[in-house]
């Protein structure tokens, strides 16, 4: 039996109805149109005017695109709701099993002293009984994480410097091995890699840890930002990286960079440094306003516009490197492209709605207190306990997960219902960050449309959409590849 498809013209009808969408200005000539389920298109102001006035769309290619993206519908079409509901559910799949990322702050002691330390670290000679997690807190925290509904969990150990408490890391792994029956567990260790012995490296490799470290750029920049003994943090870090390479485990290591004022003129040097060490990607991160970074902002900070200009220079340089045959990615852009071109959620908690804080992440502090994110415990270290959810040893589950902190996050962390965000076409690719907004503006609702979270994200999303839609074909191809990886 042969199946015949209707001819494409059969789908064209001058009369149509609108399905829900939002539109926002993209540049002087174009508007960005998006739907809740993540479809999007760019239109000129004339095309947008035709659309919103439901006039006849004579450009048939555009008509078919709008129909296929469920921005318009004609009277004879099948009920689109089941399909759209399924697409929406796929986009929000990260909510299905509650928090998957569980962070354990094993200590706030550290052997580095970084100018922007957001963890308000204490010296490594400080009293470990005051600043390290006790075994009782660790055991209860691991048990709490394992009791979560998700079948896959990421358990991330950090500090301070996590490797100062390797016996606790080993104990945690042992407890997981004893108690976990069915969950898929990924271990992550955040470490400056300045002073890790061979035994500990072997342990991490043996237990398939992902190792997350920090590399701010070339030697002089890294050492200016991050101090470690007389030799310098760069020398110690790169020696450990060489050691891990000798063990053929470099694929387990990823690095984050933090942008300080000194980084702004060094985009090529920073990226070249990553490539020289063999990394395949970089995450260009701005300075976040917590801990020492906030205290010394006058010395090391910069306006958001300066960060955006730096970010674009980095992106253009990386794209050019790819064109010249050097595969390399920028991670933040890759996440946004993935959101734009695939139906999937990214799992990246900083760009989620409902917000990653609490719904995607639970943090167990060394003192047993529980917070919805790393940033909220950083605030607690500087005296603001606004997001303290309770304590792992003394609070009930209802107090922790249905208490006032989670209630507030549920109200302030959904961009679909925030003023301004709810009308913003970039909302499906953006997120909500009540913790940062509270820190910067004094309210978890922030000032969408005006605050720095909005300004930075909206401009980066626009930058990427412009490169995806107006860049040359090689640029578009490279960005698409990043999003599909």
Hey, what are 244's tokens? 């891990």
Question: Which CA distances in Å does 9 have to 5, 6, 15, 54, 74?
Answer: 11, 8, 14, 19, 13
Task: Give the whole-angstrom CA distance, residue 91 versus residue 182.
Answer: 26
* Least distance from ligand SF4 to the Cβ atom of residue 82, Å: 27
Among 449, 466, 480, 481, binds ligand SF4 (CB under 6 A): 449
Query: What is the CB neighbour count within 10 angstroms for residue 397?
Result: 11
Q: Should residue 308 be labelled a site residue for ligand SF4 when binding is judged by CB under 6 A?
A: no
* Least distance from ligand SF4 to the Cβ atom of residue 449, Å: 5
Residue closer to ligand SF4 (CB basis): 162 or 322: 162
Question: Which CA distances in Å does 341 have to 46, 63, 89, 234, 464?
Answer: 25, 20, 16, 38, 12
Residue closer to ligand SF4 (CB basis): 263 or 475: 263
* Least distance from ligand SF4 to the Cβ atom of residue 160, Å: 5
Name the nearest CA neighbour of 309 among 469, 480, 456: 456
Question: Which CA distances in Å does 302 have to 229, 263, 481?
Answer: 28, 11, 32
The alpha-helical segments, DSSP class H, found in 211-360 are 219-225, 233-246, 267-277, 291-295, 297-300, 304-323, 331-341, 356-359
Among 457, 460, 479, 483, binds ligand SF4 (CB under 6 A): 457
Beta bridge partners of 292: none
Residue closer to ligand SF4 (CB basis): 176 or 468: 468
**Segment lying near ligand SF4 (by CB under 6 A), choices 73-81, 108-116, 177-185, 373-381:** 108-116
7 DSSP 8-state letter: P
Query: Would you give the binding string for ligand SF4 spanning residues 192-231, x where CB under 6 A is met?
Result: x---------------------------------x-----
Q: Should residue 47 be labelled a site residue for ligand SF4 when binding is judged by CB under 6 A?
A: no
Query: What is the CB neighbour count within 10 angstroms for residue 258?
Result: 23
**Segment lying near ligand SF4 (by CB under 6 A), choices 56-64, 71-79, 236-244, 415-423:** 415-423
Give me the residue label for tokens 């076409």.
Answer: 425
* Least distance from ligand SF4 to the Cβ atom of residue 62, Å: 25
* Least distance from ligand SF4 to the Cβ atom of residue 161, Å: 5
Q: Should residue 257 be labelled a site residue for ligand SF4 when binding is judged by CB under 6 A?
A: no
* Least distance from ligand SF4 to the Cβ atom of residue 322, Å: 27
Q: Should residue 236 be labelled a site residue for ligand SF4 when binding is judged by CB under 6 A?
A: no
Name the nearest CA neighbour of 392 among 374, 372, 368: 368
Q: Should residue 166 be labelled a site residue for ligand SF4 when binding is judged by CB under 6 A?
A: no
CB distance 30 to 79 below 8 Å: no
* Least distance from ligand SF4 to the Cβ atom of residue 414, Å: 11
Q: Should residue 163 be labelled a site residue for ligand SF4 when binding is judged by CB under 6 A?
A: no
Q: Should residue 33 be labelled a site residue for ligand SF4 when binding is judged by CB under 6 A?
A: no
* Least distance from ligand SF4 to the Cβ atom of residue 21, Å: 14
Q: Should residue 161 be labelled a site residue for ligand SF4 when binding is judged by CB under 6 A?
A: yes
Residue closer to ligand SF4 (CB basis): 226 or 377: 226
CB distance 439 to 412 below 8 Å: no
Among 255, 427, 435, 465, binds ligand SF4 (CB under 6 A): 427
Class of residue 136 by CB neighbours under 10 A (exposed 0-12, middle 13-18, buried 19+)? exposed
Residues that bind ligand SF4 (CB under 6 A): 110, 112-114, 117, 119, 121, 159-161, 192, 226, 415, 420-421, 424, 426-427, 430, 448-449, 453-454, 457-458
């Amino acid at each position: 039996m042969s199946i015949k498809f209707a001819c494409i013209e059969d789908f064209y009808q001058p009369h149509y109805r609108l399905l829900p969408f939002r539109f926002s200005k993209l540049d002087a000539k174009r508007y960005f149109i998006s739907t809740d389920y993540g479809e999007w298109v760019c239109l000129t102001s004339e095309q947008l005017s035709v659309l919103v006035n439901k006039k006849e769309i004579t450009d048939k290619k555009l008509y078919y695109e709008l129909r296929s993206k469920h921005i318009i519908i004609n009277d004879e079409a099948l009920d689109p709701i089941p399909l759209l509901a399924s697409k929406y559910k796929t986009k929000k799949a990260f909510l299905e099993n509650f928090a998957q990322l569980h962070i354990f702050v094993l200590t706030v002691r550290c052997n580095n002293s970084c100018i922007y330390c957001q963890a308000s670290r204490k010296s490594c000679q400080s009293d470990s009984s005051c600043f390290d997690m006790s075994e009782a807190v660790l055991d209860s925290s691991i048990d709490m994480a394992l009791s979560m509904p998700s079948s896959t969990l990421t358990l991330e150990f950090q500090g301070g410097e996590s490797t100062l408490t390797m016996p606790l890391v080993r104990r945690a792994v042992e407890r997981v091995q004893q108690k976990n029956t069915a969950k898929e567990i990924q271990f992550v260790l955040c470490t400056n890699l300045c002073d890790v012995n061979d035994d500990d490296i072997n342990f991490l490799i043996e237990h398939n840890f992902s190792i997350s470290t920090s590399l701010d750029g070339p030697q002089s920049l890294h050492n200016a930002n991050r101090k470690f003994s007389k030799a310098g943090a760069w020398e110690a870090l790169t020696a450990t990286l060489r050691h891990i390479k000798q063990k053929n485990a470099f694929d387990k290591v990823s690095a984050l960079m933090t942008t300080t004022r000194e980084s702004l003129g060094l985009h090529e040097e920073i990226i070249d440094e990553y490539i020289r060490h063999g990394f395949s990607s970089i995450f260009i991160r701005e300075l976040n306003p917590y801990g020492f970074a906030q205290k010394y902002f006058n010395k090391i900070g910069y306006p958001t516009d300066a960060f955006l200009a730096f970010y674009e220079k980095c992106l253009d340089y990386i794209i050019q490197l790819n064109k010249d045959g050097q595969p390399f990615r920028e991670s933040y852009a890759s996440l946004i492209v993935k959101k734009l071109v695939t139906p999937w959620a990214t799992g990246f908690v900083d760009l989620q709605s409902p917000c990653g804080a609490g719904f995607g992440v639970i943090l167990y502090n060394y003192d047993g207190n529980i917070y919805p994110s790393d940033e909220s415990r950083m605030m607690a270290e500087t005296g603001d306990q606004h997001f303290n959810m309770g304590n792992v040893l003394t609070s009930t589950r209802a107090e922790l997960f249905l208490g006032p902190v989670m209630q507030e996050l549920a109200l302030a962390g959904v961009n679909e219902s925030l003023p301004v965000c709810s009308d913003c076409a970039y909302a499906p690719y953006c997120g909500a960050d009540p913790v940062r907004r509270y820190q910067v503006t004094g309210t978890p609702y922030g000032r969408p449309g005006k605050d720095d979270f909005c300004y930075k994200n909206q401009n980066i999303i626009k930058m990427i959409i412009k490169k995806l839609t107006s860049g040359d074909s090689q640029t578009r191809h490279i960005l698409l590849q990043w999003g599909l990886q």
